[in-house]
Each structure stands twice: as C-alpha cells, then as structure tokens.
Amino acid sequence: DIQMTQSPSSLSASAGDRVIITCRASQSISTYLNWYQQRPGKAPKLLIYGASTLQTGVPSRFSGGGSGTEFTLTISSLQPEDFATYYCQQSSSTLMYTFGQGTKLEIK
C-alpha cells in the first residue's frame, strides 16, 4: 500500500497568515494527489485534484503543488472559515486509495 504522511499534524495560525501543509507519499504517485477540507461535524469537501487543479467554487487563496512524492497545500491568507482539518489522498493506486492522517489548522 502507498502510505501518505502529512506534516505538521497540527498548526496554529492567525487570520491573514500564509500557511503551507506538506504531504509525502511512500512512493512516486506522479500528480495523482487530492486535497480535502473537513470542518467539525461535516463531511470532507474536495479542494484540489490532480495535485494543483482547484475545484470549481474553491477560493483562489488555496493552491496546490508538487509531484512524485512531495506535495504542498498553500493557503495564501487565512480566513476564519479556513480553520479546519485538511487531508491529502492519493489516487495513483485505484485499487486502494489512501489518505494522510490529517492536519488540524487552529486559530492562534
């Protein structure tokens, strides 16, 4: 199985800050990498697919990058509604998707 590891596991930041979350794959996954946001008590929501393509309706302050084994999710200027947990997910192995353990973004 392809293992996905996110860092950090938690992060404190203030509104207006720029934050970067990293996701590493245990083997190369090209750009078969998706990012999701999950607010407390809610289902996950797709933010980015194919490592860098923003889902329709997602604010442009979100961006994704990387390929191979290292990926990033960047939020350029945090808004109050962005405080949530973020997950990466690989879709390289269509027989077995795997998620990162999540990064909880909290208000400082």
Partner 1 sequence: QVQLVQSGAEVKKPGSSVKVSCKASGGTFSAYTITWVRQAPGQGLEWMGRILPILGTNYAQKFQGRVTITADRSTSTAYMELSGLRSEDTAIYYCARDVGSFFYNWLDPWGQGTLVTVSS
Residues at the contact surface with partner 1, assessed by CB under 8 A: 31-32, 34, 36, 43-46, 49-50, 55, 87, 89, 91, 94-102
C-alpha–C-alpha distance, residues 90 and 96, integer Å:
9
**Closer residue to partner 1 in complex, CB, 19/47:** 47
Residue closer to partner 1, measured from CB, 14 or 43: 43
> How distant, in Å, are the alpha carbons of 29, 93, 106 from that of 97?
11, 6, 27
Cα–Cα distance between 96 and 64 in angstroms, integer?
22
AA identity, residue 75: I
> Could you tell me the smallest distance in angstroms from the CB atom of residue 16 to partner 1?
28
Q: 11 or 46, CB closer to partner 1?
A: 46
